[in-house]
Structure 1
Amino acid sequence: MTPDQVTARTDLQLLDIRETHEWNTGRIPGSRHIPMDEVPDRLGELDPGRPVLVICRSGRRADRISSWLGGRGYDARTLTGGIVQWQRDGGPLEQPEAVRPLTVEIIETPGLGNRSYLAHDGHMALVVDPQRDTDRIRTLLDQSGVRLSHVFETHVHNDYVTGGLELARSLEATYVLPAAEKVSFGRLGVADGEVLDVGSMRMRVVATPGHTHHHVSYLLTDTAGDEVAVFTGGSMLYGTTGRTDLLGPEHSEPLARSQYASVRRLATEAAATTRVLPTHGFGSFCAATPADGEHSTIGRERERNPALLLDEDAYVSQLLAGLSDVPAWYARMAPVNRAGPSPMDLTPPETAAPQDLRARIDAGEWVVDLRDHVAYARRHLPGSFSFELSASFLTHLGWLLPEGMPLTLVGETPEQVAEAQRELVRIGVDELAGAASGPIEAHAGKATLASLPRASYEELARARERTDVLVLDVRRAAEHADGVVHGSVPIPLHELLARRGELPLDRQIWVHCASGYRATVAASLLAAHGYDVVLVDGNLRTWLESGSAGVEASP
């Protein structure tokens, strides 16, 4: 199609799938920007009753998306030759100077399953629900050449120490919290319906109680009044909602009913094309059920969110039935955040010599090995605990570490130790007794390194028949629906320290989970207390799907 033909077609939807940096160099007037990898999650922004012209730089990416849309019933075609050919044919382009789009940066924290956000108009910036390690945000501000004006919190957080107060103070920005939240420091308290201007951006406060009593969401609009996004915190998540039991069981049902009304309000007041940008729901225990997807819009949530598909009683029943335990550190976060957290300190801990490590283990302190769990099983310091530095690290170490317990980290490199330290300060573990890095042999001194026997699920199937073997399943109760090993003893990992006495010392304990991570943690804890353990390492689901004998569905 020629530029004249395109501009003459008033029924066409112009879909530009280029990356943001390409889009900002110039775009066809009237085109909608959805980056290629976001199209599946933002499909609700397109009208299935109108033809779609897909645009990229040369046409190759557009061909793929056109074909994909066609397979879903859309009348889609490619702008032949893309933007390059469009310019050769004399087609008009709008430049960034003519249209200054708002930019929203996503700041991922996988260890907590959360996101923070930085939005700016090229001059002024705002931040929503920042984690404690705000150096990442400062870097983005510097790279974008913008000044921070406001820091917004959707609620007083129960799952991490906020960096919002310190960020606002250090950069002389306004710190915004729901007015009804009681805190011990100065801030700008906001209530439902209030509007705050940040440069050319506008944030409208929408009361969305449910995750907490005073939770709010923020609707972001540009100077033209167009809705860009809604920051939903722990209210509307992707295909689910925030949990409602963190303030105590007596509040669970009333808050669930508030959550139902809040999500429905967002779906009513915000446009279908408005991006939904939650804080929780990316592995966080603050989600009522596992979230679905990496992107969403109000329109898509209208089609799949249980709060928008079920009646109130059915939604409340489903939400309450799906709630499970939360990490132990959650109980400590809100008091810290209400008091005003201290600034983050990532000063490297003192180096621990081999004799220091041995003395700390002998004294009952925690020495945590950050290496791959297979490397730990092969060789480790006797009495040390395995918490492989991965996406699961913070959840499990934070959950099991006794409050106030001296903690020393052992890693392969100083960078690995530093990454673990950063994860820990996010939940208020600020002081490390020490750290050591390098080959594990260098930390043993004159002591002999220990090992953990590893076995496959096939070997477990044979060993479970022995009278001297006890099979320990450290998965969470909700996972048992996938299947259980006949005769296994279920003790979730987070309950193991309190229930260790239920396990006999005169039988060999074969420990399994779903992947080997939690089983290694459990095996290391038990071995340090004198148990004869075998680590069952492998993918349980694969074994279950093989139809192996000795497996049954959970009753």
Structure 2
Amino acid sequence: MKIEQIYTGCLAQGAYYIVSNGEAAIVDPLRETKPYLDRLSKDNVQLKYIFETHFHADFVSGHVDLSNKTGAQIVYGPTAKAAFECITANDGDLFKVGDITIKVLHTPGHTMESSTFLLIDESGKEYCIFSGDTLFLGDVGRPDLAQKAANMTKEELAGMLYESLMNKIMPLADDLIVYPAHGAGSACGKNMMTETVDTLGNQKKVNYALNQPNKESFIKSVTDGLLPPPGYFGMNVAMNKQGYASFDKVLTEGTKPLSVNAFEAAAEETGALILDTRDPDLFFRGYIPQSVNIGLNGDFAPWVGALIVNVNQPILLVCNEDKQEEAITRLSRIGFDHVIGFLSGGYEAWLNAGKPVDTIERIDAKLFEENYDPTTDQVIDIRRESEFAAEHIENAYNKPLSYINDWIKDIDPKQHFFMHCAGGYRSMIAASILQARGYRNFTEIAGGYKSILETAIPRTDFVCPSKLMKI
């Protein structure tokens, strides 16, 4: 028996590849199928089942494409209703893969169909669980994502999750390995550990949700402090239920090289968003006007999903050389399938063609210190509320990047402000959005708060309510 965790850091997502005696199973695969097909070919095994722990909201699974290419059956837990052929298993159903057995444990609460898959090894020992979004390391799945579909409140779903955990998971042996669907950084939980594998026994000790004294306390603890989910979540659920265009087709259509003139014409004719995926240190020096900068060398897909409202938005890419396929792949994982081409030769081709360019006003922390007057100058800190609360520049305002579409309308275009995040990645995203919408009354700080820490600018952990972004 072999179990491989295939972890994708950008989405903090774990897929699982399982092999036993010539047969294989995959749990919660990502959109692109090649990594799995390559493993199947290398191991010379037949994919028998694709197990889906639930209808995912934060990414588009590769289940449909993978099934079409291999003939493997897709397996969901009880109550799942999909628009494609699949097995809707019953609680307790057993599936043989080579010499091992996968048992379905229906564990609703995160969603109604959520299930945990219990692996029983060749000797008959219960070896591990693939817990999906039911149980994370340090946390449990948020119970607010399926409220509308289930016609239930988040408190009712949390109560259901409590029963699932207490009755199906907690009685299992302490030495079982827990393989969750997500780790720290995912929007599917709020308190996940950085580790991606643990024993159930340790989780029983350290997981706050598993250590609540009663059901009422559990419900309160898991529903408290939940931030609104990203806007693309609902559309990803729909794609996972209904099916989607083949990734191969999406990739072929997106990797169309466009000359400068063709790129410019496509932008005007289609209203496509120009998405510049270069690093912030390159972008601010020069970019195509109206572009939005979300760098590939960061949490690219989650920020695209959080800030671009419509997954059907046509997109034109500006990338560093040979990075367009990576960008399209990562966009497709969250359902953004409508890339219509990329700029051949990148930004340099645009620049060399003598086309209009724009820049961002950016200064380093030392120059900021020299020019900053705390009695008159305004500072906007776009880090998360928790980051801001830990420490920030005195008198700064907290306006998290996640909510820029809400707070941008409150910006006074006549009042200058300084803007920063933790290291410069998020603040450049914000800067590009602000300038695309006509705001030019700001200066972005290179290196963000990390660089500001090296200056003598006054800082505090005191949080004035009026300085916080109201969600």
CA shift at 1:150, angstroms? 0.8
Q: CA deviation at 1:539?
A: 4.5
| Equivalent of 2:384 in 476, 492, 500 | 476
Structure 1 equivalent of residue 109 of structure 2: 210
- Contact 1:116 1:279 survives alignment (8 Å): yes
Equivalent position of 2:8 in the other structure: 109
User: Do the aligned partners of 1:461 and 1:550 also contact (CA within 8 Å) in 2?
Assistant: no
Deviation at 1:137, TM superposition (A): 0.7
> How far apart, in 1, do the equivalents of 2:432 and 2:25 lie?
44
Structure 1 residue aligned with 2:422: 514
Over 3 Å counting, the alpha-carbon distance change for 1:198 and 1:518 in structure 2 is: same
Instruction: Output the amino acid matched with 1:241.
Output: V
* Residue of structure 2 equivalent to 1:240: 139
Mapping for residues 343-354 of structure 1, pairs under 5 Å: 343-345=246-248, 346-347=251-252, 348-354=254-260
Q: What is the aligned counterpart of 2:49 among 150, 158, 161? A: 150
- The corresponding residue for 1:499 is 407
Task: Report which stretch shifted further, 167-176 or 120-129.
Answer: 167-176
What is the CA distance between 1:548 and its match in structure 2?
4.2
State TM-score, norm by structure 2.
0.89
Q: Give, in whole Å, the separation in 2 of the partners of 1:357 and 1:494.
A: 29
Q: Cα–Cα, structure 1 residues 271 and 285, in superposed 2: closer, same or farther, change >3 Å?
A: same
Q: How many angstroms does 1:378 deviate by?
A: 2.0
Distance 1:407 1:463, change over 3 A: same
RMSD: 2.3
Q: Structure 1 residues 491-500 or 355-364, which shifts more? A: 355-364
C-alpha deviation, 1:384, in angstroms: 1.6
Question: How far off its partner does 1:272 sit?
Answer: 1.6
Aligned match for 2:212, one of 310, 325, 333: 310
CA separation in 2, counterparts of 1:315 and 1:462? 50
In the TM superposition, what whole-angstrom CA distance separates every residue of 1:10-61 from its partner, at most 9, and x where no partner exists?
xxxxxxxxxxxxxxxxxxxxxxxxxxxxxxxxxxxxxxxxxxxxxxxxxxxx
Tell me how far apart the structure 2 counterparts of residues 389 and 328 of structure 1 sit (CA, whole Å).
20
Amino acid aligned to 1:366: L
Secondary structure in 2 aligned to 1:166? helix
The residue number in structure 2 matching 1:549 is 458
Q: What is the one-letter code of the residue matched to 2:411? A: L
SS at match of 2:247: coil
SS in 2 for 1:419: helix
Give distance in 2, aligned partners of 1:520 and 1:487: 22
> Shift in Å at residue 550 of structure 1?
4.2
Stretch of structure 1 that moved more, 528-537 or 324-333:
528-537
Unaligned 5+ segments in structure 2 are: 465-471
Q: What is the alpha-carbon distance in structure 1 between the residues aligned to residue 41 and residue 298 of structure 2?
A: 28
Question: Within 5 A, what are the aligned runs for 1:356-375?
Answer: 356-359=262-265, 365-375=272-282
Deviations 1:478-516 (A, max 9, x none): 332222333333322232234322111112232211221
1:289 maps to which residue? 191
Give the drift of 1:475: 2.1
The alpha-carbon deviation at position 465 of structure 1 amounts to 2.6
Identity %: 28
Q: Quick check: 2:78–2:106 contact (8 Å CA) kept in 1?
A: no
User: What TM-score results when the alignment is normalised by the length of structure 1?
Assistant: 0.76
Instruction: For residue 463 of structure 1, report the CA deviation from its aligned partner.
Output: 4.3
Contact 1:121 1:199 in 2 (8 A): yes
Structure 1: segments with no counterpart, 5+ residues: 1-101
3-state SS of paired residue (1:433): strand
Identify which of structures 1 and 2 has the higher relative contact order when contacts are C-alpha pairs closer than 8 Å and 6+ apart. 2
CA distance in 2, matches of 1:221, 1:490: 50
| 1:394-473 pair list within 5 angstroms | 394-403=301-310, 404-414=312-322, 416-438=323-345, 440-444=347-351, 445-461=353-369, 463-465=371-373, 469-473=377-381
Moved more, 166-175 or 230-239: 166-175
Letter in 2 for 1:497: N
- Quote the residue 1:67 is aligned against: none
Q: Report SS of the residue matched to 2:198.
A: coil
Equivalent residue, structure 2, for 1:340: 243
1:87 aligned partner: none
Q: Counterparts of 1:282 and 1:423 in 2: how far apart (Å)?
A: 19
Structure 1 match to 2:397:
489
* CA pair 117-187 structure 1, distance change in 2 beyond 3 A: same
Cα shift at 1:328: 1.1
Q: Which amino acid aligns with 1:192?
A: D
Matched residues in 2 for 1:123 and 1:261: separation? 37
Distance in 2 between the 1:550 and 1:281 partners? 31
Q: Mark the CA change 1:446 to 1:292 in structure 2 (over 3 Å): closer, same or farther.
A: closer
Residue 125 to residue 259, structure 1, CA distance change in 2 (3 Å) = same
What one-letter code is carried by the residue in structure 2 that aligns with 1:483? E
Instruction: Report how many aligned residue pairs link the two structures.
Output: 453
Contact 1:176–1:188 (CA under 8 A) maintained in structure 2: yes
Map 1:517-528 onto structure 2 (within 5 A): 517-528=425-436
